[in-house]
Structure 1
């Protein structure tokens, strides 16, 4: 049994590289997912994941499956969509989530069209779903750098982000740090989605951000504990998904997300902070 769980990583370098990449994605993406959930922006993360596709597709059209071209294109596209959605929401009566929905649908269709012009169905599947097992050292270094950058920036903007999750009106009253912190946070969302795109593709990149955050929400209401649980759940999902993929015919990216989905369902049922079982059979309270 132990050989089944450990042998893939001791025998094959590509599995060790994939595991290191998943760990880096977990460290950077899971905390971002917690803040997305607390700020009720989880679907915004999904929209932004689709928004990076045209930029990555243009990079692919110009340079093929070139890491830096696709990453740079994805970053430009993500930032462009985020800025345009914010501008539309401020100059019209359309809410930001609605404008993001419109932009992400256009982005998804445009990105698929661009990839289809030059590439094959295999190239399209690679862009949409990624291939964590094909990660090289260069890609791993980029992912690790972005994860480190994310943690450093989060440490700087931690206080205004937490306050804004609890009471945004209070933050606007006592400080002007809310707007810069929000912009920095949205930049981190884009960076981590591009990060996840390298391994999981544009359609699944947000999964390793949002699902671990949902898992953490059912086990704790303390934000620091939620961060730790989310990171641990993301790492566990990545490890178990890679093992599942190695011993079966399930693709690695979907396997990782499916494991995270199973953990989410278990947490939904058994979580001590709002799980179904805890609500049906609440713990007895002390009586005076």
Structure 2
């Protein structure tokens, strides 16, 4: 019987999704703890104009679209911070405004030169068509992301718990915040090569949200989020292979299924355990 592992393009897709899971899922855990989950979604739209400019200049060039996405992501983050500091508008409101502008501008720019197929490729990705360059980018991103998280882990955890205290005792607060934003942008830009700008955020946020229902501490939560990302990747690719479904949405829906199951059954705040009788203390 033929298995989807027998096909080279499926093996490449699995490797690419595994790299995304290892890289983006732990970053998503910190977004969840910092109550910035929607920021990940906003930033995934914010990179679109840069990707579109790279497409206009060089077509479907991996390097040009990646560089454009990184520049656009940092530009939106900087503009959001500037508006927050210089006006009375809150950060979430300014970020929402810039990501809506970015999404519309990106779609418009792609439409100027490309076809509907090009637009669908950028928005929803082509995980089954990953080439060597895309796999190298994804694996390199995973290496950079994990190494950076290991270096800034302690101050980043402290900033999640008590940012005021971190600012009072260390100069790490500002740099850690911007390094973390850089990791978010880098993972989203790398992820769009496989899952597109609209779907890449799903692999960043959903595994971390699901893991939160099973773990009380950050280390196990980050590890479990990677496992959930890998399971969602395999599950989505299997669904795509067996029922001829679009791979990117199938992977994201698999991650969504894991989240819903965790929401119901998770021992750390899931719905069902909350209604089960508690453990009795025996003397």
State the TM-score, normalized to the length of structure 1: 0.96
Where do 5+ consecutive residues of structure 2 fail to align?
none
- Pick from 154, 169, 179 the counterpart of residue 159 of structure 1: 154
User: Residue by residue, what CA displacement relative to the aligned partner does 1:41-82 show, whole Å, maximum 9, x if unpaired?
Assistant: 000010000000000001111111110010000000000000
Q: Between Structure 1 and Structure 2, how many residues are aligned? A: 283
Post-superposition CA distance 1:19-43 (Å, at most 9, x none): 0101100111000000000000000
| 2:76 is the counterpart of 1:64 | no
- 2:90 aligned to 92, 95, 109, which one? 95
In structure 2, what is the equivalent of residue 241 of structure 1? 236
CA distance in 2, matches of 1:67, 1:186: 22
- Are positions 1:18 and 2:9 aligned together? no
Cα deviation for residue 187 of structure 1 reads 0.3
3-state SS of paired residue (2:243):
coil
Report what 2:187 is aligned to. Answer: 192
Q: Unaligned 5+ residue runs, structure 1?
A: none
Q: After TM superposition, list the pairs within 5 Å mapping 1:1-288 onto structure 2.
A: 7-9=3-5, 11-286=6-281
SS in 2 for 1:65: coil
TM-score (norm 2): 0.98
Between the aligned partners of 1:268 and 1:247, the Cα distance in structure 2 is 27
Using the TM superposition, give the Cα deviation of residue 235 of structure 1 relative to its aligned residue in structure 2, in angstroms.
0.6
SS in 2 for 1:206: helix
